[in-house]
Amino acid sequence: MKLEHRSQKVPKLPQFLLRLWRYGLFALGLILFSVLIGTLGYHYFGQTSWLDSFHMACMILTGMGPVVEMITPEAKIFSALYALYSGVAFLSITAVFFAPIIHRLLHILHVEDDEKNDNLLG
């Protein structure tokens, strides 16, 4: 997923919306992958029901905190590792989702700045 160089023109709105859709799908894929890992891990290591495992994975991934107490050492280790992973994943997913929006905003501001400088020089 390549973005324009600052010397290139700002893409038209339909092209931008398509890019936003692609980045959004990629972010959604990362979310689904992360929730799947958490759900499977909590079900296997924490010996919780599928619904409780899903609930726990979603709560940890979004930073809300644990719902069910982990009792076994294996469950505690998985829970700690998944919490560390979730912190990085949450920030990464947020960055992926907002990257095209921030890039477009900065690109527009840079293009406007270049046009203003060209008018002053020419």
pTM of the full structure: 0.79
Are the C-beta atoms of 10 and 108 separated by less than 8 Å?
Answer: yes
104 occurs within a structural domain: yes
1 occurs within a structural domain: no
Q: Which band of pLDDT confidence, cut at 50, 70 and 90, is reported for residue 8?
A: confident
CATH code of residue 36: 1.10.287
The model's pLDDT over 39-68, given as tens digits with 9 standing for 90+, comes to 999 999 999 999 999 999 999 999 898 899
Q: Would you give the distance in Å from CA 72 to the centre of its chain?
A: 31
86 occurs within a structural domain: yes
The closest alpha carbon to 38, from 3, 100, 85, 1, belongs to 85
52 occurs within a structural domain: yes
**Domain range for residue 65?**
14-121
108 occurs within a structural domain: yes
5 occurs within a structural domain: no
**Domains identified in the chain, total number:** 1
* pLDDT at position 120 over 80: no
